[in-house]
Amino acid sequence: MKHPYYTLNERMQARYGRKIRKICVDGGFTCPNRDGRCGTGGCIFCGARGAGEQLDPTKTIREQVEAAMKQRPGNEWIVYFQNFTNTYAPVPVLRARYDAALLDDSIRVLDIGTRPDCITDEIASMLAEYAKSREVWVELGLQTANDETARRINRGYPLSVFTDAVRILKQHGLPVIVHIILGLPGETLSDIRRTVDVLNACRVDGVKIHSLFIMKHTALAYLYQSGAFTPISMQTYISWAIDALTRLSPDMTVHRMTGNCLRSELLAPDWITERDLILLTIDRRMYAEGLTQGCRYEKPDCFT
C-alpha cells in the first residue's frame, strides 16, 4: 500500500531509482545541554546515550561504517551521525570525523543530527562544501514550537534560535529535517498545529514525527513513576499524527512516523513497539477519510 504522505523511501526511489539504506554512527560527540554550556542533564526524555543506545561507542567511526557495509554489500548509503550533537566541536574536528565516515561514493548522503544552538555560518559553510559531492542533510531536534513546553522538557533554547539556524542553513543551500514529538507534557493538539505551522513557515525540507516514550533512568521516567506524567494512548497519537500530516506542506518529506527504543530501555508506553500496526492504522484511516498530506495545508505568508 502506498502511504498517503510523501515518504523518504519514495523520495530516494525517485532520485536514485533504488532504496538507500541508513548507517547510524556514533560520532563521539557530547551535548551543550549536558556539559553545562546551556544546561545539564539533557532533555528530560533523553537517555544516557543520547538516542544512540544501539550504537557501539568502542568502534571508530570508520569501523562502524565498514561493519554496516559488510553486512549488506552492494547497497548505497545514508551515513547518519545520530546521537548527541554532531556539530558541537571546532570545524577541523567536525571535518575529520565526517571524513572518516565517507569511505567511498556508495555513500550518497551525509546526514548530521544536531541542535539549532550548534549551527553557525562557519559550520554551515563547511557542510556546504560536502554538498558539492553528495547530498548533505541537517537534522534539528525542535520537538515543539512552544517555548513553555521547551522549558518544561529542558530543551535549552528558545524557538528564535531554531528559526535562526534554519535561516543560516537555507542560506547555504542545505536541506533541513526537523524532529517533532507528539504527547509532550502539557501539550495539546493546538500546540502540535502551531509546531506544524512553524515548519511550514520555515519551509523545512523534511520532518520526523513520533510519540513521546519514556526511557528508564531519565528525568521523564521519574515524572512518570511519580504519577506526574501520563503518556498519550496509541489512538491519540494516531489522531494527532494524521492531523499534523494533513497540515504539513505536501512537498515536505516525511522521514519517519514512529519512534523506537531498545526494549530493555523502554519504560512506557508499550504500544510504541507496534510500528507496523501504527503505520497501517494511519494509512487506513487517512484513506477511509479521504485525507492526504497537505490536504489542509495553508500557505504561510512569510518566513517565520
pLDDT at 304: 46
Specify the pLDDT at position 193: 98
C-alpha cell at 255: 522521514
pLDDT band at 57 (very low <50, low <70, confident <90, very high): confident
Q: Angle CA(165)–CA(194)–CA(200) in degrees, nearest 5?
A: 55
Q: Which residues contact 263 (CB under 8 A, 6 or more apart)?
A: 273
Q: Write down the pLDDT at residue 78.
A: 98
Q: How confident is residue 52, by pLDDT bands cut at 50, 70 and 90? A: low
- Beta partners for residue 236, in sequence order: none
Residue 81 has pLDDT above 70, yes or no: yes
Buried b vs exposed e over 288-302: b needs ≥16 C-beta within 10 Å? Answer: eeebbbbeebeeeee
Catalogue all structural domains in the chain, each as residue range(s) with its CATH number: 8-288 (3.20.20.70)
State percent of the chain over pLDDT 90.
87
* Confidence at residue 303, expressed as pLDDT on a 0 to 100 scale: 54
* Model confidence, pTM: 0.95
Task: Give percent helix, percent strand, percent coil of the chain, each to the nearest 5.
Answer: 40, 15, 45
Task: Look at residue 222 in the predicted model and tell me its pLDDT.
Answer: 96
What's the whole-number average pLDDT of the chain?
A: 94
* pLDDT, average across residues 179-207: 98
- Set of cell numbers at residue 24: 547510524
Alpha-carbon gap, residue 29 to 94, rounded angstroms: 10
pLDDT tens-digit readout, 13-45: 999 999 999 999 999 999 998 888 888 888 999
The answer, yes or no, to whether residue 51 has pLDDT greater than 90, is: no
Query: What confidence tens digit (pLDDT) does each residue in 160-169 have?
Result: 999 999 999 9
* Per-residue confidence (pLDDT) for residue 260, from 0 to 100: 85
Residues 239-278: tens digit of each pLDDT = 999 999 999 999 999 999 999 888 989 999 999 999 999 9
pLDDT of residue 36: 80
Whether the Cβ atoms of residue 19 and residue 64 lie closer than 8 Å to each other: no
The yes-or-no verdict on residue 183 having pLDDT over 60 is yes
Strands 266-268 and 214-215: antiparallel
